[in-house]
Chain A
């Protein structure tokens, strides 16, 4: 009797100890993590893991600014928003000692321009914006080019643009020989004028979110669409005739993990970041949704088909043509006004 009681007490105590660990709440894009991860994370670290999702980075930003910084521990979002989040004090420096797996990060994604020395962030996954197209309906033997959309003489019938200001204006800027992050009103205006002409073509089906455009190509309604490479990978698996390219140059993005300034569970947050940077875990996450992993140590565990897939991992020559979108601080207005012009004429 006594022994049983003692055993029960021990069992109860250990149960309490397990429940003692406050959960880690991660705020990220929807369908962006293998659903098996929460259970495995809890097993490995003892912290229960809660995943909360958002659809657009702007929604996340608005929510955090409205005071939700104390509701989430980790935020996963795109590089272009990091500067703003640091300046608005929505995130706090990481506890580097708790993230030994930081050594696993691929050097080309470590120490990024928006967060020197990875003071606030470590990368989660990365990808590109590009063109998905139907290989049977484009001019044979021609390398994929933005001219299929942007040049009146070579335009495909029909195509879809992406309903995102920065990547679309960025491609326009790149075609004009400028940087995607140009702050020169003349260059930005030229890119906007180019987009107005493209949009005005009867061959243009308009703007759509990346997924919507991809679906129109999949359904045969359009020949080409601007979309994210992650969506393209899945579309190409569904329909063999489709292909994806970043053409003459495009936007590369990296989604990063940050700890909110008032995280209720900072230790858990750092533990989560460390966990994701583990070689096996990073590979598991990337094998699930076919986005590229920035964790070099994870490469041996990436599915063979994905590792050799140029849609996911572009070759070195292509990488040189890709450009990150930077925070434009006071010139954000310049690009916003240019986009308004594109959408009003």
Chain B
């Protein structure tokens, strides 16, 4: 055996390096190809197939589903799908912004407590996330129902007519969305804030930085990774979520999630559903790339 390489004081060769490398990443690679790459490939193939008369799949590849996704259908061009996608993006963006706006102060407040309290408070934030989303959303229906105290108070104060409930409506949808997503925003923010190096903040103050500059360069620059993680963890799941808007918003408007479900359900049009799903994956990836690029730029400051 001719060994030309020495690593960690031991002689080795290329083959051995390759094998040990493969051993290290192999499990991860296998996992990724089984649960991510494989399904994604299947989805991409299905997206370009077409529906048979009875919901069967015809494996003739064409671009029809792309055209249908942007709105060309039986009724000529209609903005329906684009409206649905736009509405989902707006809902996800507002939800994410609200979660960050609420999660940031909450993370600071928790990080400022005693060690004992911190564990308890984080647990309180996380525990609701362990309960099934549908059940939590139904719980909101009960809380906002017309015989529950909040609605009774609103009826008494004259904000809503007698016998009316506080849902369905936009406010109820955002309440449900925030309660669903807040834990995923708080946790990464908290881990960032907890490790904050306060000497940098002091240095910023010593150098006569105003409140904004101190925050911008002393705090924000340090917590950017947490902020990015929080944005990703709230934005991407809320893009596909539709239970909350159905149960608390009266199901008057479809979101992308509903549209995809309709194709796999009532419409029995799996290829078109796959195309919409693929569109959602691509949109998520693009926003992820933008966020990461922004993050790496921010990190350098």
Contact = CB atoms under 8 A, between A and B. Distances in A.
A56 interface: yes
Interface string B128-163: 000000000000000001110000000000000001
A185 B164 contact: no
Interface residues of B, number: 39
B54 A339 contact: no
B251 A163 contact: yes
A332 B267 contact: yes
A343 B54 CA distance: 24
Contacts of B259: 340
Given A221-B163, A339-B262, A340-B84, A206 B53 contact: no
B266 A206 contact: no
A195 to B, nearest CB: 11
Nearest to B163: A220
A341 B250 CA distance: 16
Contact of A337 (B56, B73, B251): B73
Say what secondary structure dominates the interface of chain B.
loop
A39 interface: no
A206 B264 CA distance: 23
Contact of B268 (A221, A332, A343): A332
Contacts of B163: 220-221
Contacts of B123: none
A199 interface: yes
A143 to B, nearest CB: 25
Contact of A206 (B168, B267, B269): B168
Interface string A46-67: 0000000000101101100100
Contact of A219 (B87, B146, B246, B268): B146
B75 A333 contact: no
B265 interface: yes
A62 B254 CA distance: 21
Contact of B267 (A59, A199, A333): A333
Interface in B66-115: 73-75, 78-81, 83-84, 87
Given A61-B268, A340-B80, A344-B81, A333 B56 contact: no
Nearest to A223: B163
A343 B261 CA distance: 13
Contacts of B262: 165, 336, 339-340
Given A88-B55, A221-B163, A206 B252 contact: yes
A327 B168 contact: no
A333 B266 contact: no
A329 B54 contact: yes
Contact of A341 (B55, B56, B78, B251): B78
Interface of A is mostly: helix
B147 A219 contact: yes
A212 to B, nearest CB: 8
B59 interface: no
A300 B251 CA distance: 43
A220 B51 contact: no
Given A163-B251, A185-B74, A341-B75, A83 B147 contact: no
B198 interface: no
Contact of A84 (B55, B164, B250): B55
A207 interface: yes
A87 interface: yes
A197 B11 CA distance: 78
Interface in B246-291: 246, 249-254, 258-259, 262-269
Given A88-B54, A185-B75, A219-B145, A343 B168 contact: no
B180 to A, nearest CB: 19
B83 A333 contact: no
Given A166-B266, A336-B266, A336-B269, A341 B80 contact: yes
Nearest to A163: B251
B269 A333 contact: yes
A330 interface: yes
B254 A344 contact: yes
A204 B169 CA distance: 11
Interface string A192-228: 0000000100001111100000000001110000000
Given A58-B265, A62-B264, A84-B54, A205 B81 contact: no
Contacts of A240: none
Contacts of A33: none
B74 A83 contact: no
A216 to B, nearest CB: 8
A174 interface: no
Contacts of B168: 205-206
Nearest to B87: A344
B46 interface: no
B83 A344 contact: yes
B232 interface: no
Given A332-B55, A333-B74, A345-B80, A84 B252 contact: no
Contacts of A88: 54-56
A290 interface: no
A334 interface: yes
Given A330-B53, A337-B75, A345-B83, A220 B252 contact: no
5 A-B pairs with the lowest CB-CB distances in the bound complex, closest first:
A206-B250, A58-B265, A336-B267, A343-B254, A87-B54
Given A205-B250, A340-B81, 11 more contacts: A65-B55, A84-B268, A87-B56, A185-B75, A219-B146, A330-B53, A333-B269, A339-B262, A340-B254, A341-B78, A344-B83
29 contacts: A58-B265, A58-B266, A59-B265, A62-B265, A65-B55, A84-B268, A87-B53, A88-B56, A185-B75, A189-B75, A199-B252, A207-B252, A208-B250, A220-B146, A220-B163, A221-B165, A329-B54, A332-B55, A332-B267, A332-B268, A332-B269, A337-B73, A339-B262, A340-B254, A341-B78, A343-B253, A343-B254, A344-B84, A344-B253
